[in-house]
């Protein structure tokens, strides 16, 4: 098998395109035509608590695909290579860089204000946690024990909730209690008063520390999917079918346990982990079959411009606001109803132009 899956780069690019281009365009449409876009607003806004919509697959898919890279980049350790100090140093470097970028994107690092610093509050940090755990499991354990380790992580998360009576109150569940106790005033969503006092905002419901167990499971699922696609005992078409079958099983399992533990992305619940993981399996199975098996990639290769610089695209898209440039150039259209859509397209085009230039120059920033 080729060392790199074109389908992985294309699917990762599609994930970033949805987040960084289509998402803002959708928001522009919702702003321009609020009366006719309720259905779109529903699919592009995270659910309040229980449930799952289109927008909720973006983060799980990003984590899942970070796990898929591991069996390719670390294949030599399954062929007799021994992890040495350089391996662990590289792993630690990746962990630290992802945390640093996460602080810049959402941790308010560049505010230079200790009060507003959030040490754990971003997708990149979730990837860092899951990636390190999964990489260590992949390098040191065979497939059977990777499955066992994943099951133990999954069980540990569920047991923590079971020990507290499955309390799923948005502010009082065990995952939130742990976050509040450990992160305190540096938890995202904290409100500071003029007198220097602070309080937890009831509007912020995401959890990170205990949820890290299931972040790791999601990344591990990606690693397992890649190992299935690398299995040379089966034809490529059969590999795609087996991955799709596994995805259907995960979705069924997630739905089966959802009456006991509902699908709640904000705490990365057990049913959400299985359900979203199953969707990721189906997406990569379909993309792998179309792109790598059938070779039907014409019209899709442009997504690699996002996919090969996914973290760069994410960081620029989340940190840099191109609106001042777009508004300056397009101000003459501001009287039109569709102006917000035009601005969103222009902003997305600027980001795409930067990524395209990097792609043509062969600049692929890795962490």
Write the CB contacts of 361 (distance below 8 Å, at least 6 apart in sequence): none
Strands 190-192 and 198-200, how do they pair?
antiparallel
Six-digit token string for 280: 């990721």
190 membership: H or E segment, kind and range: strand 190-192
The DSSP call for residue 346 is: H
pLDDT(53) > 50 = yes
| Residue 197 and residue 41 in contact, taking contact as beta carbons nearer than 8 Å | no
* pLDDT level of residue 81 (50, 70, 90 thresholds): confident
CA distance 67 to 61: 10
pLDDT band at 300 (very low <50, low <70, confident <90, very high): very high
Answer whether residue 1 shows pLDDT above 50. Answer: no
Phi, psi of 113 (to 5 degrees): -130, 110
Instruction: Give the pLDDT of residue 107.
Output: 85
pLDDT at 2: 47
Phi, psi angles (nearest 5°) of residue 192: -100, 135
Q: Average pLDDT, stretch 337-362?
A: 96
Q: How far apart are CA 57 and CA 47, in angstroms?
A: 12
Res 80 pLDDT > 90: no
Residue 367 in this model has a pLDDT that exceeds 90: no
Q: How high is the pLDDT of residue 286? A: 98
Is 126 within 8 Å of 63 (Cβ atoms)? yes
Task: Work out whether the CA dihedral 37, 43, 46, 50 comes out positive or negative.
Answer: positive
Select from 247, 336, 284, 250 the least CA-distant residue to 69.
284
Instruction: Name the strand (E) or helix (H) holding 169.
Output: none
- pLDDT of residue 340 exceeding 70, the answer is yes
**226 CA to centre of own chain:** 17
> Residue 92: is it exposed, middle or buried by C-beta count within 10 angstroms (0-12/13-18/19+)?
exposed
Asked whether the predicted pLDDT for residue 120 surpasses 70, the reply is yes
pLDDT at residue number 78: 86
- pLDDT given at position 236: 95
pLDDT digits (tens, 9 = 90+) for 165-195: 999 999 999 999 999 999 999 999 999 999 9
The pLDDT score that the predictor gives to residue 175 is 98
For residue range 312-329, list pLDDT tens digits in order.
999 999 999 999 899 999
Q: Which two tokens stand for residue 23?
A: 């998402």
Phi, psi dihedrals of residue 198, rounded to the nearest 5°: -140, 160
**Amino acid 3: pLDDT:** 60
Q: CA 175, 178, 183, 185 torsion: positive or negative? A: positive
User: What per-residue confidence (pLDDT) applies to 311?
Assistant: 95
Q: Which two tokens stand for residue 310?
A: 């996914």
Q: Rg of the chain over CA atoms, in angstroms?
A: 21
């Amino acid at each position: 098998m080729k060392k790199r899956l074109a389908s992985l780069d294309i699917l990762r690019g599609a994930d970033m395109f949805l987040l960084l281009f289509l998402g803002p365009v959708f928001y522009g449409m919702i702003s321009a035509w609020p009366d006719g876009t309720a259905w779109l607003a529903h699919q592009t806004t995270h659910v309040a608590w229980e449930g799952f919509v289109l927008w909720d697959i973006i983060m799980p898919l990003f984590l899942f695909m970070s796990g898929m890279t591991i069996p390719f980049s670390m294949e030599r350790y399954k062929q007799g290579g021994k992890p040495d100090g350089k391996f662990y140093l590289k792993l630690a470097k990746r962990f630290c860089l992802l945390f640093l970028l996460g602080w810049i994107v959402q941790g308010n690092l560049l505010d230079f204000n200790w009060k507003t610093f959030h040490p754990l509050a971003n997708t990149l940090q979730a990837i860092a946690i899951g990636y390190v755990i999964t990489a260590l499991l992949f390098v040191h354990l065979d497939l059977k024990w990777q499955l066992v380790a994943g099951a133990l992580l999954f069980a540990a998360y569920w047991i923590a909730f079971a020990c507290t009576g499955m309390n799923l109150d948005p502010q009082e569940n065990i995952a939130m209690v742990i976050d509040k106790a450990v992160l305190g005033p540096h938890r995202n969503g904290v409100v500071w008063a003029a007198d220097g006092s602070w309080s937890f905002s009831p509007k912020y419901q995401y959890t990170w520390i205990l949820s890290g167990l299931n972040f790791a499971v999601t990344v591990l699922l990606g690693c397992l999917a890649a190992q299935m696609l690398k299995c040379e005992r089966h034809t490529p078409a059969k590999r795609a079918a087996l991955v799709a079958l596994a995805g259907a099983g995960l979705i069924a399992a997630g739905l089966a346990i959802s009456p006991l533990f509902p699908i709640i992305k904000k705490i990365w619940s057990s049913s959400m982990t299985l359900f979203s993981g199953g969707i990721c399996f189906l997406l990569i199975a379909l993309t792998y079959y179309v792109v790598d098996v059938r070779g039907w990639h014409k019209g899709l290769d442009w997504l690699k411009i996002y996919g090969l610089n996914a973290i760069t695209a994410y960081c620029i898209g989340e940190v840099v606001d191109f609106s001042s440039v777009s508004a300056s150039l397009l101000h003459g259209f501001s009287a039109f109803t569709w102006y917000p859509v035009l601005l969103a397209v222009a902003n997305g085009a600027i980001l795409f132009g930067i990524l395209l230039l990097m792609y043509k120059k062969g600049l692929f920033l890795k962490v």
